[in-house]
Amino acid sequence: MLEQFLKEQMQEQMNAKVGKSLFQRILNSFSHATKINSAVTDVAGKCILTSQQGDCEFCQLVKSSSAGLARCRRSYAQGGVHAIKWKEPYFFKCHAGLISWVCPISYRGKHIGNLVCGQVRMWQLTELNCSWINNFAERNGLDAEQLMDSFNKARLMSTVDIQAAADLALIITSYMDLSGADIFDFHRKMRKVGSWIWGENKKKKDVASRIDLFDSEQDMSNLGSRIFAETRNCNIEKAKKLLEQLVIQMFIQSKGRLEVIKGRSLEFLSLFTRMSTEYGVKFGEVIHLSDLKLKEIDDADTVDKAVLWLLSVGNTFIDVIAKKNNSGEKSIVSTVTDYIKNNYSSKTLSVQEIAGVCHMNPAYLGQLFKKRMGYSITDYIHDVRIEQAKRLLVETDQNIELIANQTGFTDRSYFCKIFKKKTGLSPGEYKKDNMLSLA
């Protein structure tokens, strides 16, 4: 499982992956600090990676035998099972007599391997150790004296030192469990962005040899405006596609120079920040996002990181603006419907009047309402008025002209026209049918 995880998350080839380098660095740092060997195994105990320090001489000799290697693997696998069960480092005396401990490695809540540390002594060579070493050497054609000598060379540690090293190992695996997915996702995204940006650059160069690459539609300022227009209309996917076009254009125009890309990226951060506040995102939230993103672009030391940063910050702000805009549109539509329900009887009720209440352009308000509701403001006014008229026709003895007047229609003929359009019946027919059903 762990080996598959490494392949999927880091790269397809085990000999050249960023994620493997990250694991290797963790192992090397731990071993350098503690002077203890460390290794990553899968759940079956098979070693996937080991620190540069490597196994001690005694363990190397033991593992040179297939039987010895198999017993070591079983020890690691069993240690991982116990560590998962007790949720803490599991200490054990291996079959060869050395002390090791295991901390489980989890990914998204699933046990995928173990961090194995140790191969140290807590005591001098005992009679039992000597007996086992002699028997093992005889069965596997090894030199018993060499095995005993290498056993005595293994590091001797106190209980306090071993516990401190185990605590550090547990902290490392706990961190990997909590944030490992983010770490590996970042490296995966880096590789994806790198191949994408250079691939798109080649395509653009091929196109540029045949047509004018930088036409007005592809101009970056125009692309920026289009991104916000699509975001405002809640066309999120289209906005993000335009953002990708903008990033490609920026990369091409900068000729791949990191400092130019970082400078232009900061310009767009300023633009995103300003547009967010204009769309009603709280100032504090925008500034907090900007501060975080500013530090990230400042730390970017490669073109791929700068490009990934711009895509990340752009997508974040698009989502924030769209969410706020979507919430704002719902609020506006609610204001419109409430106003119509409370003022349907007014003969002056119009889109212009409602737009004034909402402090919006009538045409834009009409487009927004229709996008959210699927029909026009005028249709909704008619629906509310006709519903009220239907109620009055059934519940009162008022004549049609009076009902038309009370529901906001300026004359009887127009009222009858709209009524039949909405119900399929004239007001008189509707009243007759419903009075019969009540009889």
**Over 90: is that where the pLDDT of 408 sits?**
yes
- Asked if residue 50 lies in contact with residue 38, where contact means CB atoms within 8 angstroms, the answer is yes
- Give the side-chain half-sphere CA count within 13 A for 215: 8
Q: Which two tokens stand for residue 370?
A: 């229709």
**Helix/strand/coil (H/E/C) assignment for every residue in the chain:** CHHHHHHHHCCCCCCCCHHHHHHHHHHHHHHHHHCCEEEEEECCCCEEEECCCCCCHHHHHHHCCHHHHHHHHHHHHHHHHHHHHHCCCEEEECCCCCEEEEEEEEECCEEEEEEEEEEEECCCCCHHHHHHHHHHHHHHCCCHHHHHHHHHHCCECCHHHHHHHHHHHHHHHHHHHHHHHHHHHHHHHHHHHHHHHHHHHHHHHHHHCCCCCCCHHHCHHHHHHHHHHHHHCCCHHHHHHHHHHHHHHHHHHHCCCHHHHHHHHHHHHHHHHHHHHHCCCCHHHHHHHHHHHHHHHHHCCCHHHHHHHHHHHHHHHHHHHHHHHHHHHHHHHHHHHHHHHHHCCCCCCCHHHHHHHHCCCHHHHHHHHHHHHCCCHHHHHHHHHHHHHHHHHHHCCCCHHHHHHHCCCCCHHHHHHHHHHHHCCCHHHHHHHHHHHHC
**Over 70: is that where the pLDDT of 211 sits?**
no
- Cβ neighbors of 423 (< 8 A, separation 6 or more) are 386, 390, 430
Q: What confidence tier does 304 reach under pLDDT thresholds 50, 70, 90?
A: confident
**Over 50: is that where the pLDDT of 3 sits?**
no
* Residue whose pair of structure tokens reads 């711009």 in the numeric block: 310
Looking at residue 215, what is its pLDDT?
A: 44
**Over 90: is that where the pLDDT of 416 sits?**
yes
Please name which of 382, 393, 258 lies closest in space to residue 401, comparing C-alpha atoms: 393
Does the model's pTM come out above 0.75? Answer: no
- Over residues 28-50, the mean pLDDT reads 89
Please name which of 165, 176, 178, 60 lies closest in space to residue 116, comparing C-alpha atoms: 165
Q: What confidence tier does 2 reach under pLDDT thresholds 50, 70, 90?
A: very low
Distance CA 433, CA 371 (A): 36
Rounded to 5°, the CA angle 329-333-338 comes to 150
Task: Tell me the range of 276-290, 302-316, 318-332 where mean pLDDT is highest.
Answer: 302-316
- Condensed to tens digits (0 to 9), the pLDDT of residues 265-275 reads 777 777 777 76
**Over 60: is that where the pLDDT of 125 sits?**
yes
**Over 60: is that where the pLDDT of 186 sits?**
no
Least confident of 5-19, 157-171, 357-371: 5-19
**Over 70: is that where the pLDDT of 412 sits?**
yes
Distance CA 384, CA 340 (A): 8
Mean pLDDT over the full length of the chain: 77
